[in-house]
Amino acid sequence: MHATKFKQLTIAAALITLFSACTTDGSLGLNSKVDYRSGSDNLSKNPLEVPPDLTSVNANSSYNTPNSAVSAQSTQVQRKSGNVLPQASNARIVVQDGIRFIEAQMPAEKAWEDVKDFWLANGFILTTENPAIGVMETDWLQNRADLPTDLVTKLFRKVADQFVSTDSVDKYRARIERSEKPDTVNIYITHRGMVEIAKEGSASNTNQWQGTTWTPSEPKPELEAEIMALMLQSFGTNAQAAQEAVQPAKNLPTRAALSASKQEIELMDSYDRAWRRVGLAFDRIGYNVQDRNRSTGIYTVQRAATDIDKESESSYFDSLAFWKDDKQTQAKSAKQAFEIKLTQQDKKTVLSITSKEGAVDPAVQKKMLNDLLAQLK
Does residue 75 lie within any of the structural domains? no
Instruction: Give the residue among 187, 211, 234, 223 at the shortest CA–CA distance from 87.
Output: 234
- 215 and 353 housed in the same domain: no
Report the number of distinct structural domains present in the chain.
Answer: 2
- Edge-first strand listing for the sheet containing 265-267: 256-258, 265-267, 348-354, 337-345, 298-303, 287-293
Q: What angle do CA 304, 278, 260 make, to 5 degrees?
A: 110
Q: CA separation (Å) from 176 to 23, 221, 278, 366, 375?
A: 39, 18, 15, 30, 20
Last residue of a domain, one of 230, 252, 274: 252
DSSP character at residue 141: B
Residues 4, 6: Cα–Cα separation, whole Å = 5
**Alpha-carbon span 78 to 144, nearest angstrom:** 37
Is residue 74 situated within a structural domain? no
Confidence of residue 377 (pLDDT cuts 50, 70, 90): confident
Report pLDDT digits (tens) over 42-78. Answer: 766 665 444 444 444 444 444 344 443 433 444 443 4
**Amino acid at residue number 81:** S
**pLDDT value at residue 145:** 79
Distance between CA 43 and CA 57 in Å, rounded? 27
pLDDT band per the 50, 70, 90 thresholds, residue 139: very high
The pTM (predicted TM-score) of the whole model is 0.66
| Amino acid at site 47 | P
On whether both 142 and 238 belong to a single domain, the answer is yes
Q: Are residues 299 and 375 located together in one domain of the fold?
A: yes
Going by pLDDT thresholds of 50, 70 and 90, the confidence category of residue 214 is confident
* Cα dist from 21 to 12, 50, 131, 152, 165, whole Å: 14, 35, 43, 13, 21
φ and ψ of 276, to 5 deg: -65, -45
Cβ atoms 102, 91 nearer than 8 A: yes
Whether 126 and 211 map to the same domain: the answer is: yes
The residue range of the domain holding 135 is: 33-45+87-252
CA 88 to chain centre: 24
Amino acid at 203: A
Instruction: Show Cβ contacts of residue 190 under 8 Å, excluding neighbours closer than 6 positions.
Output: 172, 173, 175, 224, 280, 283, 284
CATH number of the domain encompassing residue 363: 3.30.310.170
Residue 340 lies in a domain: yes
